[in-house]
Amino acid sequence: MKTITTTQALAEFCTQAAQFDYVTVDTEFLRERTYYSKLCLIQLAMPGEDDSTGCIVDPLAPGLSLEPLYALFRDTSVVKVFHAARQDLEIFYVDAEVFPEPLFDTQVAAMVCGFGEQVGYETLVRRIAKKPLDKTSRFTDWSRRPLTDAQMKYALADVTHLREVYEFLAEKLEETGRSRWVREELTVLTSPETYIIAPMDAWRRVKTRTNSPKFLAVVRELAAFRETYAQERNVPRNRVFKDDALIELASNKPKTQEELGRSRLLLREGRRGDVADGILQAVKRGVECPQQDMPKPDRSRDKLQVNPALADLLRVLLKAKTESAGVAAKLIAPAADLDAIAAGLRDVPALNGWRREVFGEDALRLCEGKIALAAEGANVRIVNLDA
């Protein structure tokens, strides 16, 4: 098993990989104690039928630069294949602001090819490659050295079996003409906005029971302070204070250290020092926020006049269309989007891109009374009413 610990060795491997049509990639990382993921291992494999064309890159090795890998990522003649790539891509974007191009995500491709929603790598290997996976090293502390042979073998299997999965799915997409569907889905994964969390937008991730602008102004300032503090010190945001404590603080609005100390949910670390000072200042900013600058939550769907009969018909249509296309229904449209369409909204994902082709066009025709649905044995048939 080839282990790479120098920049020169990585450059040699990447130069060789650039001669092929694709390379498979995976990472192992830790995030339990940090805000940003700590990259501990990178696995790479070129096309082939055994482990000899794969390698393990140790990013913790002294002096090793990942620039040769990033050069390969920028080489558009080589497809970079991942499974469930989001967290891997975040690591590379945060480190070097680089995205692999072109990108292929086997999890996305599998959903498009009818393998179900959020299908796991182990399932794909078992169903496509017809091979078992040893998952005994799943909960390894990948930052510890040296790694055992079993751990290395486990890590490498994440890219060697991926070759067969990729080749199968790529061929199926080509046969069905759905490669464009996957490319549309991957635009989100290769957008910087997916990985940049602006502190002043962090409040949108906090679940609240009220949409009062005055309350949300305090929530926004507390969430922004927490996000900034966590990013600057590279600690998990929940270690600063958790969401339930944030909501309690926004409700009680403490003005002094004494009032802050009465919090039931704030941990001891949050009652003193920089965190305590930051909380009090954030609360003050939120309370003093001018009305015109207060958060304005999206209430466009709060009072939708949903036609329940039409919403039910859309559910039947979605089930029929996705079964026919072999695509998971939730990948096309969640229940909330069907209700939105039934209420007259048209700015929903199901009515755009490839989803419109599979479901959206007929959904609109159903809403306009241009088609009807009829039972035909165990199936649902679309009846045109235009004539």
Q: What is the pLDDT of residues 241-290, one digit of tens each?
A: 999 999 999 999 999 999 999 999 998 878 889 999 999 999 999 999 99
In a shared domain, residues 87 and 218:
no
In a shared domain, residues 76 and 60:
yes
The answer to whether position 298 is within a domain reads: no
Domain final residue pick, 166, 194, 222: 194
Q: Which CATH number does the domain housing residue 221 bear? A: 1.10.150.80
What mean pLDDT comes out for the span 314-336?
91
End-to-end Cα separation, the chain, in angstroms: 67
Question: Cα(11)–Cα(13) distance, rounded to whole angstroms?
Answer: 5
The answer to whether position 297 is within a domain reads: no
Residue 298: pLDDT over 80: no
The answer to whether position 41 is within a domain reads: yes
In a shared domain, residues 80 and 180:
yes
| Residue 377, phi then psi, degrees to nearest 5 | 70, -125
In a shared domain, residues 186 and 215:
no
Quick one: 167 exposed, middle or buried, by C-beta within 10 A (0-12, 13-18, 19+)? middle
Domain final residue pick, 288, 319, 336: 288
At residue 296, the pLDDT reads 84
What mean pLDDT comes out for the span 303-309?
84
In a shared domain, residues 217 and 263:
yes
The answer to whether position 89 is within a domain reads: yes
In a shared domain, residues 277 and 314:
no
| CB half-sphere exposure, 326, CA atoms < 13 A | 10
In a shared domain, residues 77 and 90:
yes
- Here the contacts of 295-304 (C-beta below 8 Å, separation 24 or greater) are 295/203, 295/213, 295/216, 295/217, 295/219, 295/220, 296/213, 297/211, 297/213, 297/216, 299/211, 300/345, 301/336, 301/340, 301/343, 301/345, 304/339, 304/340, 304/343, 304/345
Q: Which CATH number does the domain housing residue 329 bear? A: 1.10.150
In a shared domain, residues 181 and 235:
no
- Mean pLDDT for the chain overall: 93
In a shared domain, residues 316 and 179:
no
pLDDT band at 303 (very low <50, low <70, confident <90, very high): low
At residue 387, the pLDDT reads 58
At residue 379, the pLDDT reads 85
At residue 340, the pLDDT reads 92
158: amino acid identity, one letter:
D
In a shared domain, residues 136 and 176:
yes
Domain count, the chain: 3
What mean pLDDT comes out for the span 152-176?
96
At residue 316, the pLDDT reads 95
CA-CA-CA-CA torsion for 171, 175, 176, 181, nearest 10 degrees? 50
Domain span at 373: 308-384
The answer to whether position 247 is within a domain reads: yes
In a shared domain, residues 364 and 282:
no
Question: Cα(331)–Cα(110) distance, rounded to whole angstroms?
Answer: 11
Residue 38: pLDDT over 90: yes
Question: Cα(163)–Cα(47) distance, rounded to whole angstroms?
Answer: 7
Q: What is the pLDDT of residues 64-90, one digit of tens each?
A: 999 999 999 999 999 999 999 999 999
Is the pTM higher than 0.75? The answer reads yes
At residue 185, the pLDDT reads 92
At residue 126, the pLDDT reads 93
The answer to whether position 188 is within a domain reads: yes
Residue 135: pLDDT over 80: no
Q: Which two tokens stand for residue 157?
A: 């299997």
At residue 271, the pLDDT reads 87
Percent of the chain with pLDDT over 90: 83
Q: What is the pLDDT of residues 2-25, one digit of tens each?
A: 999 999 999 999 999 999 999 999
CA-CA-CA-CA torsion for 166, 56, 21, 118, nearest 10 degrees? 20
Is the Cβ–Cβ distance between 340 and 301 less than 8 Å?
yes
In 3-state terms, what secondary structure has residue 23? strand
* Residue located via tokens 């292929």: 104
In a shared domain, residues 16 and 158:
yes
Domain final residue pick, 236, 255, 288: 288
The answer to whether position 99 is within a domain reads: yes
At residue 300, the pLDDT reads 61
User: Roughly what angle, to the nearest 10 degrees, separates helices 273-287 and 213-233?
Assistant: 150
The answer to whether position 234 is within a domain reads: yes
Q: Which CATH number does the domain housing residue 104 bear? A: 3.30.420.10
Q: What is the pLDDT of residues 85-118, one digit of tens each?
A: 999 999 999 999 999 999 999 999 999 998 888 7
How is 41-93 classified by DSSP, letter by letter?
A: EEEEE-SSSSGGGEEEE-TTSTT---HHHHHHHH-TTSEEEESS-HHHHHHHH
